[in-house]
């Protein structure tokens, strides 16, 4: 599988993900799972389905060099997800407030207002790193499984 094919497959995963994540988030939030859990489950299912569909579409190319192709696609997809997930905290207006809320829940005896700016920033960076770890970990595992299953659904016939 050439690098151009890998990039095309990753771009396809990204487009499919972008098209299905919002409707799935709305479904999971509206069935009573809440905003946080509903969005995580929506992302979880979207990571898997987008990779599954792309694995099915690109099965012919994937089976040319099966392990290498799936590994390259998965790593490049995880790198793209990592870049996007790194930017999310900067683009979401209430991210800092949510981080503060999580701090207050975790450390009820420590006042947020007594922390220095460096300590607050440190906590927010830990919070962001945990988010990044979760999202990229999900992307790696679920895209690998999705690509494998999708390519198996359209496995070339033995001659």
Per-residue pLDDT of the chain (159 residues), as tens digits, is 789 999 999 999 999 999 999 999 999 988 888 888 888 899 999 999 999 999 999 998 888 888 899 999 999 999 999 999 988 888 888 888 888 899 999 999 888 888 899 999 999 899 899 999 999 999 999 999 999 999 999 877 665
Residue 110 inside a domain? The answer is no
Residue 124 inside a domain? The answer is no
Given this model, what pLDDT does residue 19 score? 95
How many domains does the structure of the chain reveal? 1
Token code pair at residue 68: 């290498």
Centre a 10 Å sphere on the Cβ of residue 65 and count the other Cβ atoms it contains.
12
Residue 119 inside a domain? The answer is no
The secondary structure element, H or E, covering residue 83 is helix 66-91
Per DSSP, the residues of 23-56 read: HHHHHHIIIII-HHHHHHHHHHHHHHHHHHHHHH
Residue 144 inside a domain? The answer is yes
Residue 130 inside a domain? The answer is no
Nearest to 59 by CA among 9, 119, 97, 110: 9
Residue 48 inside a domain? The answer is yes
pTM, two decimals, is 0.84
Residue 128 inside a domain? The answer is no
Residue 108 inside a domain? The answer is no
Longest Cα–Cα distance of the chain, Å, equals 72
Given this model, what pLDDT does residue 159 score? 55
Domain housing 26: 3-88+135-153
């Amino acid at each position: 599988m050439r690098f151009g094919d890998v990039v095309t497959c990753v771009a396809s995963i990204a487009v499919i993900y972008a098209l299905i994540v919002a409707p799935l988030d709305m479904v999971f939030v509206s069935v009573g799972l809440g905003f946080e859990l509903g969005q995580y489950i929506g992302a979880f299912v979207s990571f898997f389905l987008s990779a599954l569909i792309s694995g099915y579409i690109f099965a012919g190319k994937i089976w040319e060099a099966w392990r290498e192709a799936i590994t390259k696609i998965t790593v490049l997809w995880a790198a793209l997800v990592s870049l996007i997930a790194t930017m999310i905290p900067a683009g979401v207006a209430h991210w800092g407030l949510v981080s503060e809320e999580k701090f207050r829940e975790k450390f009820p005896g420590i006042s947020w207002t007594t922390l220095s700016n460096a300590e607050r920033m440190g906590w927010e960076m830990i919070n962001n790193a945990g988010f990044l770890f979760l999202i990229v970990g999900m992307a790696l595992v679920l895209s690998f499984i999705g690509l494998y299953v999708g390519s198996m659904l359209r496995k070339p016939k033995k001659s």
